[in-house]
Structure 1
Amino acid sequence: MKFNLNTLLVLLAFLLATVNAAPAFGTHRGDLTFYQPGLGACGRFNKASDFIAAVSHTLYDQFTIGGNPNNNSLCGRRIKVTFGSKSIFVRMVDRCEGCQPDDLDLSPAAFGKLAPLSRGRIRGSWRFA
């Protein structure tokens, strides 16, 4: 089998995409915070009472298709969030500019199921479900 430059470039692009995407699907441990939702990066309006989340801009931007954030392949994905013995499920609908790669920004309703809002920031884990 003879390889040409195009075949090599396609293989290299595939390998790089796989390496960049791999961390998104493991368990993340980081800060869990909350924010006041509105129009999310996925192009839909969200309310404080919705069980939703925003992932870090670093993670979000890896999956934006064709430069349009509304077409991000993570939009609408279910996420399991855990803090201590409590777990909830949320939908990914937004991008968090101030978050570190493993942080997750939750709606007040979702955060409130894990800890009192007065805590503001807690260390927890999350993964795509």
Structure 2
Amino acid sequence: MGINAPVLLTFVTIICFASTSYTFQGTASFYKPPYVPSACNGYRDDGIFIAGASDALWNNGAACGKDYLVHCTGATNQAPQPCKSKAVRVRIVDYCPKGCSGTINLSEDAFSMIANLSAGVIKVDYAEYYKKWEN
């Protein structure tokens, strides 16, 4: 029993659009430890895969506790090939006020998973991470 090619093509197209419809483009910078205190949780240790949200994500604190999947897509400066071939999942625990050099300000540990630290600021795709994706 063969697969109908037009049906398969339609299905693949729908999956591709569904997977990219909640992806946003922006920039990421990083900050060095210590990672406390934070705007969301005070002096609680939230681990090392965390981030601060700029005004684009912050939404008056509604971003606190949300997880994002962040993937490096390129350089914002002359850094040659800053990206590594990984994505990193981070939790928003802090606010990055006006003047923040990225849409999302990753912990140094998180940034180093997806890019070379020498890049400083990188282009990224990011999407809110939902636990249902784990199943």
TM range (shorter): 0.5 to 0.7
SS of equivalent residue, structure 1 residue 59: helix
Number of matched pairs: 95
Runs of 4+ in 1 over 4 A off after TM superposition: none
**Structure 2 counterpart of 1:88:** 88
**Structure 2 counterpart of 1:45:** 43
Alignment of 1:35-114 (within 5 A): 35-36=31-32, 37-45=35-43, 50-60=48-58, 62=59, 64=60, 72-84=61-73, 85-97=85-97, 98-99=99-100, 103-114=103-114
- Post-superposition offset of 1:52: 0.3
TM-score (structure 2 length as normaliser): 0.60
TM-score (structure 1 length as normaliser): 0.62
Q: Deviations over 1:23-53 (max 9, x none)?
A: xx93221111001332111023377x60001
Backbone CA RMSD of aligned residues: 2.5
Q: Deviations over 1:96-127 (max 9, x none)?
A: 11237x81100000000011111111101111
Give unmatched runs, 5+ long, in structure 2: 1-20, 74-84, 130-135
Q: Look up the equivalent residue of 2:57 and give its one-letter code.
A: L
Give unmatched runs, 5+ long, in structure 1: 1-24, 65-71
Alignment of 1:24-35 (within 5 A): 26-35=22-31
Structure-2 change in CA distance of 1:94 and 1:115 (3 Å): same
